[in-house]
Each structure stands twice: as structure tokens, then as C-alpha cells.
Amino acid sequence: MGSERISALAPLYDEVAKCGKCGFCQPTCPVYRTTFREGHVARGKNALFRNLVEGETVLDVDLRDSFDHCLLCRACTAACFPAVRTDQLVLAFRETYARRFGRPTLQRLIFRGLLPFPDRMRLVIRAAWTARRLGLDSLAARAGLLDMINPKLRNALEIKEDVPARFLRDRAADTGLGRPSARTVERGPAPLRVGYWISCGYNYMLPEVGEATLEALRQIGASVEILGNACCGLPVYGYGDRDGARSLARRNIELLGDLSRFDAVVSECGSCSGHLKEYPDLLADDPEFSVRAHRLAAMTRSFSEFVDPLLARTADLAPPPAAPDGDPDRPLVVTYHEPCHLGARYQGVVTQPRRILKSLPGVEYRELPEADSCCGAAGSFNVLHPEVAGGILARKMERVAAIGADVLVTECPACLLQLGLGVRRAGLPVRVAGISELVVSYSTGQRRAGSDRNGIRGGVE
């Protein structure tokens, strides 16, 4: 049954055969640490994958549980001496499974008809928000619409009392944010030319963080153009739709146009910047786009990666904003959650955000234990498996509570929303903030960190 399809997995036989079943991946897998299921850890996935290739099992719905339960966080590979690429095996499985059994029509529609087109996205999401406000959200949820567009959004619906009145793209256009600052810092003959990549998460959910990013870029003297990009394609890729992800990559390269007008393409979304850097891999066999994919990847920077070397050269930072309890002498205790797609296992951006935070006056930086362990947001994961995602998040919150931070900083909208949910559930007096919000609050002297309108990302007041 379907053996010709499974043969698509055969090229990965060498990869999976490297797994010696030593179990070293187990303690690092966030999913396993929550469910204790062997099928959810890399060793179990690899065993099933191998059985599939060897004909010891058949491709059926029972196998899905194992391969669905993966955050693609690569913690297993990092702990694995032969470095088995379980994330690639999972993606290959998802793709093969979808080819064999088909994708839901709606998913196909969204991947092909919506995500590539920012204007359509905007209308649909606006409509969904309106539905939510009119109490129609259950309808929308039933249609699975939001899940499919971007699972982060549905999760966000649970969190957000209110929705942004305007999306980031509109707000930035109105306020002229992103124009070069008068306070250009000493950095060379001409201002750095930055293409600002708008991630769906900031655009539709957390525009105030996006504004902080733009403001921070302006303050360090960059001249910023807001890119007309569509979804980077990571959610599509995560569902195992490689073809869909490839066409989104091509589409974005086209939308960005001539790259020579930029010195860097910057995003504060760890997932977007991480995925842009994977475009060359994705388009390796595409003669038309491969060169441009390389070019784009080479100039892509995460926010902290871009800002870190420049920050050292900016003018003095303003005095620190007061700690939440108003005591001006107490340092603001800041900690950092490392997004999977930004950190050691994807982009290798590890020291930069920490260095930035440590450089802020009046900040006491404390390293979060297991800072690089996934928070459970991970694309579709928190929608497909809310309970498991909740368990992963609870573990993260235990760590946050234990070190007693005032502010929990990160660099990814999905993580921001997830962590915000976490501090609220755990009732922690902790603010959750995008890293640019902290940088900006220091250079303007306002306490912006996590103080967005609704306090959604804050814990107990």
C-alpha cells in the first residue's frame, strides 16, 4: 500500500540508520518531558521511520501521533552525537503523509491562495477579528481558518482581550516610522540601509513591538524601508508542504525586488529571519532563484544580530526606567528566552541578545535555566496539542518564577504570545517584552518594556 510513496523516505535511510537508540535525546526533548511517551522523543520517531523504510510498519493514521508531536526545535539533534536530523525526518514524514492522504482543502487554499498575498491576508484576518468581536469566533475556529492561516493567531485569540485596531503595516505607513533619524550615530559615511521584514506575528498581533523595532532601528541611525513581503513560509514548511514553502520563498524573493538597495534585511522575528536563512537550502535546485536566495540569506539579520555591533557605538543610553515596584535603586531584573529558530540550533544567535541586555544600565541580567528550550509555541504545535504545549509552557514558567525576573525578554512574536500566556496562567509578576522594546525604552527613558495597552503580555500587576 502506497509503497511508491514511502520510497520517498528511502533517501533518508542513511540518516535514520545513524540512530543507535542511546536515548541521549530524551531528557532534552520538551515534548517528551511533558508526555513521557517514547513515540514523542527522537529515538521513537526514528524507530518508526526506520520501520517504515524497512517495511516493518505501514503508513497509516496511527503513525501520525508520533510525527505530529514535534516542535522541530532540534534539541534532540543537539544532544545526539551522530547528530541525527530528526527534524528533517519529521518533515519528510509529514510531506509523505500529506501526499498519500491529501491535505484538507482549506489548508491547501490558505497555503496557496492566501499566504502568498499580503493584501488578501490582511482582509481575511481583519474579517476574522471582526467575527471574533461579534462573537463569531467559534465559527471561525470551527472552520479551522485561523489555525491554518497562522496558528499563532488562534492561540492569540485566547489571550487577547482586544485586537490591534490597526496592523503594523498600516501604522508604520501612517506615522512615518522607519524614516531615518535625525540623530544619526557615528557609523560611517552613509546610514545603514535596512529592509525591515514584517512578520505576520508582529503585523497582525503585536504591532507595538514592531513599532519598537522600527524606532530602535531609527535611533541607531538606519534608514529603513518596510518590505512588501508575504509570509516567510515557515508554517507551510512545518506542515511538510515543501512545495508550498518553495513557492512562498520564490514569491518573497520577487516581492523584495532588487536587493542591492539594502545593506541588510532585518527582522525581529526569530522564525522569519531563521527561515530566510534556509531559503538557499530550499531553493538549491532552482537555477533561477538559487543565487538570489543565497544573496537574501547572506544579508538577513535577526534584530539583535544586527543591533549588537552597532549598539556599542550609539550615544549614551538614557538612565534606566524604574523597576516595576517604583524603587529607582533596585536594578531591573531581566532574563531571556532563546527562540529555537534564533538560537544555537538554527541561526546561532546566542551571545548577541544577551550582550545587548547586559549592556543596558540598571539591568541585572540573569540567565534563565534551559533558556534555549522551546516554549511550546512552535508553529502549529500549540494549536494541535494545546495540553502538551501547556505542559511545556508550565515547565518554562517554573524556571522563570525561580529566578525572580521582572522582565522576560525574547525575540519572536510566537514566543512573546506564548510566554505572555504563560505568565498569566502562572500568575507571575513578570512582564514579557520584545528585545527592541527594552532597547527603545532605554534610549527614550520611557518604561515601555512589555507595557502594551492591554497588559496582555504582562503578568499580575
Partner 1 sequence: MIAARVLEDLAAVVGAHNVLSRRADLQTYEYDAYLEKALPGAVVFVDSTEQVSGVVRVLHRERIPFVPRGCGTNLSGGVLARGGGVVIEMARMNRVLEIDLPNRRMLVEPGVYNLDLSTALQPYGYYYAPDPASQKACSIGGNVGENAGGPHCFKYGVTSNHVLGLEVVLPDGEAVWFGGGGLDQPGFDLTGLLVGSEGTLGIVTKILLRILRLPEAVKTMLAVYDTIDDASNTVSAIVAAGMVPATLEMMDNAVIQAVEDSMAAGFPRDAAAVLILELDGLREGMEEQAERMIELCRANNVRELRVAQTEEERAALWKGRKGAFGAVSRLAPSYLVADGTVPRTRLPETIRRVGEISRRYGLPVANVFHAGDGNLHPLILFDSRKAEDRERVVAAGMEMLQLCADMGGTVSGEHGIGLEKAEAMRMVFDDGDLRAQEWVKECFDPEDLCNPGKVLPDRVSRLSGGRV
Residues forming the site for partner 1 (CB under 8 A): 13-14, 17-18, 20-27, 36-39, 43-44, 47-48, 51, 56-57, 60, 62-63, 65-66, 79-82
Residue with Cβ nearer ligand SF4 (33 or 250): 33
Dmax over Cα atoms in the chain, in whole Å? 70
Find which of partner 1, ligand SF4, none residue 48 binds, CB within 5 to 8 Å per kind. partner 1
Minimum CB distance to partner 1 smaller for 22 or for 173: 22
Give the footprint of ligand SF4 on residues 210-239 (CB under 6 A).
Answer: none
Taking CB under 6 A as the rule, does residue 25 contact ligand SF4? yes
Report the distance separating Cα 322 and Cα 38, nearest Å.
47
162 binds, among ligand SF4, partner 1, none (CB under 5 to 8 A by kind): none
Residues 71 to 110: which contact ligand SF4 by CB under 6 A? Answer: 71-76, 79-80, 82, 84, 86-87
Tell me which of ligand SF4, partner 1, none is bound by residue 183, counting a contact when its beta carbon lies within the kind-specific cut-off of 5 to 8 angstroms. Answer: none
Residue 15 interface partner, choices ligand SF4, partner 1, none, CB cut-off 5-8 Å depending on type: none
Which range, of 36-44, 220-228, 356-364, 438-446, touches ligand SF4 by CB under 6 A?
A: 36-44
* CB-CB contact of 253 with 289 (8 Å): yes
**CA atoms of 371 and 92, how far apart (whole Å):** 28
Q: Quick check: 349 binds ligand SF4 (CB under 6 A)?
A: no
Question: How many Cα atoms occupy the beta-carbon half-sphere of 385 within 13 Å?
Answer: 23
Q: Is 153 an interacting residue with respect to ligand SF4 (CB under 6 A)?
A: no
Output the smallest distance, CB 271 to ligand SF4, in A: 15
15 interacts with ligand SF4 by CB under 6 A: no
Sort residue 449 into left (φ over 0), alpha (ψ -120 to 50) or beta: beta
Contacts of 194 (CB under 8 A, 6+ apart): 217, 222, 223, 224, 225, 262, 263, 264, 265, 266, 306
Q: Which residues bind ligand SF4 (CB under 6 A)?
A: 19-25, 28-31, 41-43, 45-46, 70-76, 79-80, 82, 84, 86-87
